[in-house]
Amino acid sequence: SQQGEEDPQALSIQEGENATMNCSYKTSINNLQWYRQNSGRGLVHLILIRSNEREKHSGRLRVTLDTSKKSSSLLITASRAADTASYFCATDAASGGYQKVTFGTGTKLQVIP
Amino acid sequence: DTEVTQTPKHLVMGMTNKKSLKCEQHMGHRAMYWYKQKAKKPPELMFVYSYEKLSINESVPSRFSPECPNSSLLNLHLHALQPEDSALYLCASSQGLREGSYEQYFGPGTRLTVT
């Protein structure tokens, strides 16, 4: 089963507004990553937050991690039409000596110009 | 060069055909991945190669056969596929695997349709 569940499944906002997406996971992790995917294309890595970190920023992106609640959030500030995409959280877990990454269900974001 | 390339972009094949998907990266990454993604779903891991050796096989049917000829190339050989195998096939690479989680660089994918 998938490691991460995201909500909302879909989000529609006006350009300039902030967008918040949440990810909940089930087991202990070492790292959590966020990826973006434009329709029918490959994924692009956005940010990685380690289990001992609580918050991380990158440009207009802010990621938080609460390991006690097994949850993370991605905030996109001052959204732009170009931010329209699907966003996935990805968690890792040990698998036979390797770190295996599993993607969450994703949030489809639409930013209306 | 931070690009992962995949060929072909689109592929239509019959259930009796044999075809191959190709993936290439020149970032010196030692881990390469194949994912399958159905519409409106997240990518699902199929195979992982680490240092050119198959490290993870997620119980993928034998009609999918991966191959890693060298550290820059990754192939996925397809034979006797079913219509339900139609999906976007994504290749990715990362610095390593055992050392911990690294960001993955994805190719644009191959859109496969099985008729």
Q: Which domain holds residue A27?
A: 4-112
pLDDT, greater one: A112 or A39: A112
CATH of the domain at A65: 2.60.40.10
Chain B residues near residue A42 by CB distance under 8 angstroms = 4, 90, 92, 106-109
**How much is the pLDDT for A1?**
47
* Rounded Cα distance, A35 and A50, in Å: 15
**Structural domain tally of chain A?**
1
Interface residue B19 vs chain A (CB under 8 A) = no
In this model, does residue A30 exceed pLDDT 90? no
B109 neighbors B90 (Cβ within 8 angstroms) = yes
Q: By CA distance, what is B107's nearest residue in A?
A: A42
Chain A residues near residue B50 by CB distance under 8 angstroms = 98
- Classified as helix, coil or strand, B83 is helix
- A73-83 residue pLDDT tens: 999 999 999 99
